[in-house]
Amino acid sequence: MTLQHIRPRAGMPALALLTLGALAACGSAPDDAPGGGARATETVVMAADYPVYLTARELDEVADTVVRGIVRSSETGFERLVLDTSSDDPQLNPLAGLSEDEIDAYLARNDGYVATTHSLEVTEVLQGDVGVGDTVTVQQIGGTHDGVSYVVLGIEQLSVGREYLLVTTAREGGRLELVSSGQSVFTVGADGALAPLATNPGGYVLRGTLAEAREVFPG
C-alpha cells in the first residue's frame, strides 16, 4: 500500500494517492465508467485538496463562465504532468526547493495522472462568452483507465446524459476549468432544483434553484 502526493499543474488540486489493490478485497468494481474500458481490477483512491469558498459570492468573484449543460460524451485518459521546475513559486512549481536529483527522482515516479474529459452541450449561459448549443469540455481527475479505477474521495464523475450547472473559468478551445470540484458542480432537477454533485462538499455555498443561481451569477 503506497501513498503519494502530486500536483498535476497550476490550478489543479494537490492529491494524495492510496492504492487499495485488487477490488476483490475492497468491494466490487463498476462494470462501466466514464471513458469506457475493461472492468477495473484495482482501485486507486485519491484525496484532493481543492480550494474552499465560504460564500456563493466568493465563487462568483473567481468564476467567469457559469453554464448549464448536458453531458454528451466522456473520455478517460492519461495526462502528463506539466511543471515549471525553473520557478520558485510553489503554485507553479510544487518541487521548489528540491535538488535536481530529487526533482528527477520525483518526476520518474510521478509522470502523470488519470483524468476524464467530459463534453457538454450548453443549454443555458448564466455567465460567460459561450452560447446555447455550443460544445464545451470540462475535466475531472479520475476515471477508469487500463483496468484501474481512479476515485477522488467525495467527488463523483459527471454522467453522460445528465444535466449539470458548472461554475468555471474559461480556457482556450472551449475548455472550462472547474473553480473547485467540491463546490462548483451541481445536478439540475426537472423542477430546477440544484444539488451538489460532491458527496462531501467543502460547503454548500450554492443552494436552492436555478432561479437563485441566476441571481448569484448575473450575465
Residue 153 is predicted with a pLDDT of 84
**Greatest CA separation for the chain:** 57
pTM: 0.74
CATH code, domain carrying 81: 2.40.50.120
Of 95 and 124, more confident: 124
Q: For residue 8, is pLDDT > 70?
A: no
Residue 20 is predicted with a pLDDT of 41
Task: Let me know if residue 22 belongs to a domain.
Answer: no
What's the number of domains the chain is made of?
1
Task: Could you list the beta-strand ranges (E) of 35-190.
Answer: 42-49, 65-80, 112-127, 135-141, 143-145, 148-152, 163-170, 175-178, 185-188
Q: What would the mean pLDDT of 150-161 be, rounded to a whole number?
A: 91
Of 120 and 7, more confident: 120
Residue 135 is predicted with a pLDDT of 97
pLDDT tens-digit readout, 189-211 = 989 999 888 875 556 677 789 99
The answer for residues whose C-beta is within 8 angstroms of residue 137's C-beta and 6 or more apart is 117, 118, 119, 120, 174, 175, 176
Q: For residue 64, is pLDDT > 90?
A: yes
Q: Are 63 and 104 in contact, with CB atoms under 8 Å apart?
A: no
Task: Let me know if residue 30 belongs to a domain.
Answer: no
- The chain-wide mean pLDDT, for the chain, equals 78
Distance from C-alpha of 196 to C-alpha of 213, rounded to nearest angstrom: 13
Task: Let me know if residue 25 belongs to a domain.
Answer: no
Lowest mean pLDDT among 17-21, 88-92, 211-215: 17-21
Q: For residue 32, is pLDDT > 90?
A: no
Per DSSP, the three-state class of 208 is coil
Task: Let me know if residue 185 belongs to a domain.
Answer: yes
Q: What would the mean pLDDT of 169-182 be, rounded to a whole number?
A: 90
> What share of the chain in percent tops pLDDT 90?
37
Task: Let me know if residue 97 belongs to a domain.
Answer: yes
Residue 98 is predicted with a pLDDT of 77
Task: Let me know if residue 24 belongs to a domain.
Answer: no
Lowest mean pLDDT among 65-69, 84-88, 162-166, 173-177: 84-88
Task: Let me know if residue 2 belongs to a domain.
Answer: no
- Domain hosting 129: range is 51-140+154-216
**Rg, Å, the chain Cα set:** 18
Task: Let me know if residue 28 belongs to a domain.
Answer: no
Q: What would the mean pLDDT of 128-146 be, rounded to a whole number?
A: 94
Of 142 and 86, more confident: 142
Q: Are 108 and 96 in contact, with CB atoms under 8 Å apart?
A: no
